[in-house]
Amino acid sequence: MLAKVCSLDLHPAAFPPGAATTSLNHTNVVLWRDPVGVADSFNMPIFATFAESLCGTLLDAAAEYGVKAGP
């Protein structure tokens, strides 16, 4: 899902544990790949003012996988 909206190559060989800067939905973000545990686990801190817009973008990208917003 994240690869659909991110210009970075998220394959572990191309993006090992650590951080990289990218743009998601015209929002600059820093992605951190988790160094321990699940290989496809990322942290993505963003400013609160961008949260709603970016959340909508990620939910749209995840819809084909059956992800829905809300209860």
Domain ranges of the chain: 2-65
pLDDT at res. 1: 86
> Which fold would CATH assign to domain 2-65?
Gyrase A; domain 2 (3.30.1360)
* pLDDT at 65 exceeding the cut of 80: yes
d(CA 11, CA 59): 21
**pLDDT at position 9, please?**
93
7-62 pLDDT, tens digit each: 899 888 898 889 999 988 888 899 998 877 666 788 888 889 988 999 899 999 99
- Helical residues (DSSP H) of the chain, grouped into ranges: 2-5, 48-62
Starting at the earlier edge strand, list the strands of the sheet with 18-24. Answer: 18-24, 27-33, 42-43
The pLDDT of residue 31: 92
The model's pTM is 0.75
* 2-9 average pLDDT score: 90
